[in-house]
A = this chain, B = another copy of it.
Amino acid sequence: MHTIDLSNYEYRTDLVIEEKVEGLEEKEIIRNTYDIEGIRVEEMNLTEEGSRKLHRKAGLYRTISFSDVTDKDQYRKVEKAFITVLKDLLLESKIKQTDSALIIGLGNEHSTPDALGPKAIEQVLVTSHLFQLGEVEQGYRKTSAFSPDVTGSTGIETGKLIKGAIEAIHPDFLIVIDALKATNIDRVTKTIQLSNTGIVPGSGVGNNREELSYEKLKIPVIVIGVPTIVDLVTIVADTIQYIYKHFSYKIDNVGNSKLKLVPENRQNYIDYPNTLTKEEKEEILGSIGNLDYEEVKQLIIEVLTPINYNLMVTPKEIDFTIDKLSLLLAQGINKSLHEHFNTTK
C-alpha cells in the first residue's frame, strides 16, 4: 500500500503578518516595538478594516525575537519576555485569573522539529483532576493539557479529537502550542509568535476542517507558535536578499578606511538596507536581479518542484533547541497561569 505522508500537510506557517503592513494606516493596524532585557517584542493589532485589506484575521499578533535559546543567560531573558507577553495577551483577551485552561500541543512527538507542542505538554502543570479531589492550594488555576497527535498516526482528524476534549471538560479558554513553517529564514527557532486569532489544526484532507477560534468555539483561543522548519525556496530567496545587502554594504563603504580595520567576516550587514540600483542588481544577478522577492520565490519553486527538491529542512541542532524551547514554553505558561507556581519544580 502506498502510504501518503500527511505530516507534510500538517505544518501551519508563521503567525507573523508582515508583507504589506508598511502601507497600512493606523485605523487598520496598530504597531509597537519594545525591548525586555534586550529581547525584542513586536506588537501588531490588526483591526477589522486592516483584516479585510490583508486577508488575515483581525486580532492581536505578538513576536518575540532572540538569537540562541540554548544559551543559559538568553534563555532566562526570553522566558521573562514570554511571560510578560503571554500575561498581557490573556488580559487583553479578557481572560480572568480564575478561568480554566485547556492547553493543546499540536504535532508529532516522534518527529523532532514537530515535537514542540507534545514536549511542552509533558511539562505543563495540570490541576483539573486535583480540583475534583479538593486537593489544590490557593494561587492555582484549573488546567488540563492534551496532545492529539497527528492524523497520519491516528487516522482521526486532529480538530475533532480536540473538540471531544473541549466537550469533556468545558474549559474557559484554549492555549494551542504548535511548531510552524517559517516564511523567512531569520525566524527558524529564533522567534516565539503569539496571537489570539485561532488556528486550523486540520491536515488539509477533506472539507470538514475544524477551526479552533473564538468565532467557532465561543471561548478565547491563544496560539503560541515557533517556526522550526523552512523550505529550500525560502532559503535561496532569502540568500539572494543577503547578496544584495552584502554588495550594498561593500559599495557604500568602498572608501571607508575605518571599516578596513574590521575583519571581513565580522562586517555584519544583516540589518543593512538594500541600496543597490536597478542596474547594479542586474549587473550582479542578471534577469533575476529584476525580480522582486515574491517573483524570485516563484522562479525557484518552478526550478525545484519538478525535480522534487523543495525539501523542508530544520537546523541540525534541532534536538537541543526543541528541548529548551518546550521547557521554556511550558514553564512560561505555568508561571503565567498559576500565581503561586513554584519555579523550582
Contact = CB atoms under 8 A, between A and B. Distances in A.
Contact of A316 (B1, B185, B313): B313
Interface string A281-297: 01111111100000000
A155 B136 CA distance: 13
Contacts of A275: none
A344 interface: yes
Interface residues of A, number: 99
A98 interface: no
B1 A137 contact: yes
A270 B136 CA distance: 31
Contacts of A3: 130
Contacts of A289: 286
A299 B264 CA distance: 13
B206 A264 contact: no
A183 to B, nearest CB: 15
| Protomer copies | 4
A129 B144 contact: no
Given A122-B110, A129-B205, A289-B286, A318 B307 contact: no
A84 interface: no
A34 interface: no
Contacts of A206: 132
B136 A145 contact: no
A87 interface: no
28 contacts: A2-B135, A4-B135, A110-B319, A122-B153, A126-B154, A129-B156, A129-B205, A143-B155, A144-B156, A145-B155, A155-B169, A156-B169, A160-B169, A161-B164, A164-B164, A164-B168, A185-B309, A235-B235, A243-B299, A268-B306, A269-B306, A269-B307, A270-B307, A270-B309, A285-B288, A286-B286, A286-B288, A314-B316
